[in-house]
Amino acid sequence: MEVHDRVTQLIPHLRRYARALGTSEISSDELVRATLERAQAQLDRYSPEADLRIWLFSQMHHSYIAQLRGAEAAAELERSDFERAIASLPPSHREIFLLVTLEDLSYQDVARTLEIPIGTVMSRLSRAREKLRLLLMSQAGLRLVR
């Protein structure tokens, strides 16, 4: 199967991840478009031995960071408490949380995708989960008892 056909099969995964990453400043469709354009422009750097899914998520990561840097503030979309809690995570924590929970990537695959050490993946994921737990408990009117 050609790379083009394999990329086409992975577009639903890219769209799902882009929608989950999305903020009011960044359109998920624009992020997918930018990712595919970036991947096309860098296709000569793709090695057939590499995991295409990981490579595409890595391309999305770079597109996402570029859009975050250039994004202007926009009106907050209506979201559920959980979506707002996820959106409140720092982008570096949100990416890892979503790649592990939504895309079911291993810590090692996330580390390769984001080009960071696996220990960083584990610590950021732990912090993201703890922040989400505290935010959701607070929203539910629960308090932490230690």
pLDDT tens, residue by residue, 7-45: 999 999 999 999 888 766 678 888 999 999 999 998 888
**Integer Cα distance of 118 and 78 in angstroms:** 34
Per-residue pLDDT at 127: 96
**DSSP assigned state of 71:** P
**Integer Cα distance of 137 and 75 in angstroms:** 26
Looking at the chain, which residues constitute the CATH 1.10.10.10 domain(s)? 78-146
**Integer Cα distance of 87 and 59 in angstroms:** 21
78-146 CATH: 1.10.10.10
Per-residue pLDDT at 77: 38
Beta bridge partners of 23: 26
Q: How many CB atoms lie within 10 A of CB 126?
A: 12
**Coil, strand or helix: which one is 23?**
strand
Per-residue pLDDT at 120: 97
Per-residue pLDDT at 145: 53
Per-residue pLDDT at 79: 54
Per-residue pLDDT at 73: 37
Do the Cβ atoms of 52 and 6 come closer than 8 Å? yes
Encode 71-101: b = buried (16+ Cβ within 10 Å), e = exposed: eeeeeeeeeeeeeebbbebeebbbbbbbbbe
- ∠ CA 140-142-146, nearest 5°, is 150
**Integer Cα distance of 127 and 92 in angstroms:** 11
Write out residues in the chain with pLDDT < 50, as ranges: 72-78
What is the fold, at CATH topology level, of the domain defined by 1-77?
Answer: Rna Polymerase Sigma Factor; Chain: A (1.10.1740)
**Integer Cα distance of 69 and 60 in angstroms:** 14
Per-residue pLDDT at 108: 96
